[in-house]
Amino acid sequence: MAFAQLQSLFQSNVFASSLSWKVLLSGLCVALVYLLGTNLRSYWRLSHIPGPFFAAVTNVQRMLWVKSNRAHVIHLDLHRKYGPIVRFGPNMISVADPKEIGTIYSFKKPWPKSDFYRALLLKTSRKPVEGIFATQNEAIHHQLKRPIANIYSMTYLLSFEPYVDTALKVFTEQIDKRFASKAPQDSAIKSKENICDLSQWLQMLAFDVMGELTFSHRFGFMESGSDIDGAMNDLWNNSQRTAIVTQMPWLEPIYTNNPLQRWLRGGGTSPGVRFAQKRIAERRAMAKGDLKKEWTVNNRDFLSRFMEVEANESVPPYALMVWTGSNITAGSDSTAIFLRAFFYHLLHNPRTLDKLLEELDGKAREGKLDTPAKFKQVYELPYFNACFQETARMHPALGLPMERVVPEEGVMLCGRYIPGRTVVGMSSWVTHRDNETFGQDCDGWRPERWLECGPEEKRRMEKGLLTFGHGHRDCIGKNIAFLEIYKIAPTLLRTYEFELLDPSEGGDWRVYNRWFVTQKGFKVRVKRRAVA
């Protein structure tokens, strides 16, 4: 009897086990069929768009392009191979033709931002928070931007010129003391003492200018000649990780924002947010009398205006943190990148540099250009503006396609139908090298292209620039960049002579694309210039 029961039990367990395996295998088969069907559907819906084979089946390839730090170069090569519209992923298309800018980044009927931007949200100790640039929610974007938009107008920002001048004064004092005073009298003599890492010093200048404008207080990078608390390095490290995740956004909670990572980076707060929160806490403590005022606060600086808005408007509780954090992160990096590119191209093109110096010195002799330069004075200079435009074209700060989602009804782009819900984007590095718009020599530096063309051609080139984005989601801080660059670049050019170092001497210019296309190894010899 016992044996019969045992046999029955065994048989039933075997049957149950066999049934379990059948159920499991059936489930796996259903899952595989579903995945295969989904991938096939994804493959076929965009099969009419040319591109590399693996881009049709996986996003891994475009993630690896970003990981290589050369995505902007790879993207341009792909467009020159396949044409103005290229498939970069199973559901992602890159567009190169500047004529499509108004369609993809429309003012009147804006397309929503893709999940690309989810990875760019500012991190806090709890969860990412929506910012003006990265939010996908149009209502939040409006709520954050509307009450502060007028603060970023050029009319308002011109009142900040004295604070840019203060930072410039500190910069020139430090350059004089550390490098220019050590320059040999004989220009043929090479000295190691007057070698300046201009990539680092321009970044420190941009940071300290933003400190003056936002908090009435420089961070002290220039006085110390170093990256205080590793803030700049932290921002770069954060950018390296984040850029990879933008290509496969579902990795964000795993790769850049999991609980362990939040704990390792001090509760999960982004470097820019952490930096801003510290300054906000200082200002609140000073207002209460809990902290001695060690500097004079300009009651019209960005933080003062942001706090007024916070007190009088209905804004999200994290608004103050987002506004100040964005000023520091985006404002300093983009300006430093532009300034490096500006000086790099001038130093590599002596004829252009001589022509620009002739314009600057001529205006100074006429009494129409001060030191430090005033924005309105420089704004009137044709050749400087041509060099500015050419820098904006040759080396925009952002180096990945700015992604949008096609409306449900679909759209025609570059003569091809793109179905609804497809992700499309344009990279400024690709668009700015369009032969039809910018000429057959568009791969090279030539500021004259902005002066030799007629009004209509110039307008077409200007409309083809995506340096500061386009449409209602363009860069809110672009006027800050204009103010800084139009003052800093002419002032430094008239004050110093810069000589590029050979790679053998350490002058190893390198470009890294991790969303921001930053540059490192820009080393020069510097000495005071005898101004005519």
Would you list which residues are annotated within the binding site for heme? 475
DSSP summary character for residue 395: S
- Residues pairing with 523 in the sheet: 197
Residue 270 tokens read as: 């982004």
Residue 360 tokens read as: 């600057």
Number of H helices, E strands in the chain: 22, 11
- Residue 459 burial class via C-beta count within 10 angstroms: exposed 0-12, middle 13-18, buried 19 and up: exposed
C-beta of residue 377 within 8 angstroms of C-beta of residue 363: yes
Q: How many residues does the chain have?
A: 532
Residue 354 tokens read as: 């001589």
In 3D space, the residue among 511, 491, 499 whose CA is nearest the CA of residue 209 turns out to be 491
Amino acid sitting at position 521: G
Q: Return d(Cα 173, Cα 72) in angstroms, integer.
A: 37
Name every residue whose Cβ is closer than 8 Å to that of residue 271 and which is 6 or more positions away in sequence: 231, 234, 235, 237, 238, 329
Annotated binding-site ranges: 475
- Residues pairing with 516 in the sheet: 398, 514
CA angle 288, 292, 296 (to 5 degrees): 95
| Cα separations in angstroms, 251 against 127, 254, 516 | 15, 5, 20
Reduced to 3 states (helix: H, G, I; strand: E, B; else coil), residue 408 is coil
